[in-house]
Amino acid sequence: MEKELVCINCPLGCRLKVRVEGEEAKEITGNLCKRGIEYAKQESILPMRVLTANMKAADCERPFSVVSSKPLPKNMLIECAMELKKHSPKTPIKMGDVVIENILNTGCDIIATSNLPEESL
Partner 1 sequence: MIMTDVDIAIVGGGCAGMSAALSAYGHGIRNIVIFERNSYLGGVLKQCIHNGFGIHKFREDLTGTQYAAKLIDDIVKTDICIKTDTIVLNITEEKEIVAVSSKEGITGYRAKSIILAMGCRERSRGELMIPGSRPAGVLTAGVAQRYMNIEGYLVGKKVFILGSGDIGLIMARQFVLEGAEVVAIAEVMPYSGGLARNIVQCAEDFGIPIYYNTTVTGIVGKKRVEGVFISDVDENRKPVLSTERFVDCDTLMLSVGLIPENEIAFKAGIKLSEKTGGPIVDDMLQTDIDGIFSCGNCLHVHDLVDFVSIESEVAGKNSAMYILDKIKKDKKPLVIETNDGEGVSGTVPHRIDLNKGEEEVTLMFRPNSKFRSCTATARINDRIISSKKMPVAVPGEMCELKINKNDFGPFEKNDKLTVEIIP
Sole window of 20-28, 72-80, 97-105 interacting with partner 1 (rule: CB under 8 A): 72-80
Sole window of 19-27, 77-85, 98-106 interacting with partner 1 (rule: CB under 8 A): 77-85
Residue from the set 45, 46, 78, 98 that interacts with partner 1 by CB under 8 A: 78
Q: Is 104 in the site for partner 1 (CB under 8 A)?
A: no
**Binders of partner 1: how many residues, by CB under 8 A?**
35
In angstroms, rounded to a whole number, what is the distance separating the alpha carbons of residues 15 and 22? 21
Residues that bind partner 1 (CB under 8 A): 6-11, 13, 15, 30, 47, 49-54, 56, 61-63, 65-67, 74, 77-78, 81-82, 85, 95, 113-114, 118, 120-121
